Amino acid sequence: MTAHEQPAGEDGARGNCCPLYHEAVELVGRRWTGAILHVLMDGPLRFTEIAQAIPELSDRLLSERMKELERRGMVKRTVIDGPPLRVRYELSRMGRELEPALAELQTWGRRWLGDRAATQT
């Protein structure tokens, strides 16, 4: 069986990629989104704290990703009156429910993409 073939279901038809699965993978798999979700798993953070936790990520792209995650309902944005005015981000219930999947992905990455990956076939 090739990577593109799927076993036939009870009705004999081949399975197709579920559109919701595809949408979920595309959303979480966007560049830097996984890293942002990972750092927010530890609790609410301000924009600058997220930026410090992921130094390779530009402020422009971080801002874009945060807006997208908020729009999709995965992140809650809270404005804290000042002075100075501050904004805090935290995962919504929807975002938090990704924790087991992200933890498994991290375990897989350590196993297969780390230094030992070259010796494991």
For the chain, the domains span: 33-114
Query: Which CATH number is 33-114 given?
Result: 1.10.10.10
Instruction: List pLDDT tens digits, range 14-63.
Output: 678 999 999 999 999 999 999 999 999 999 999 999 999 999 999 999 99
Provide the strand spans (E) within 30-111: 45-46, 75-80, 86-91
Instruction: List pLDDT tens digits, range 81-107.
Output: 989 999 999 999 999 999 999 999 999
CA 35 to CA 117: how far, in whole Å?
21
Question: Which of the four pLDDT bands, split at 50, 70 and 90, describes residue 115?
Answer: confident
Handedness of CA 77, 86, 30, 93 (dihedral sign): negative
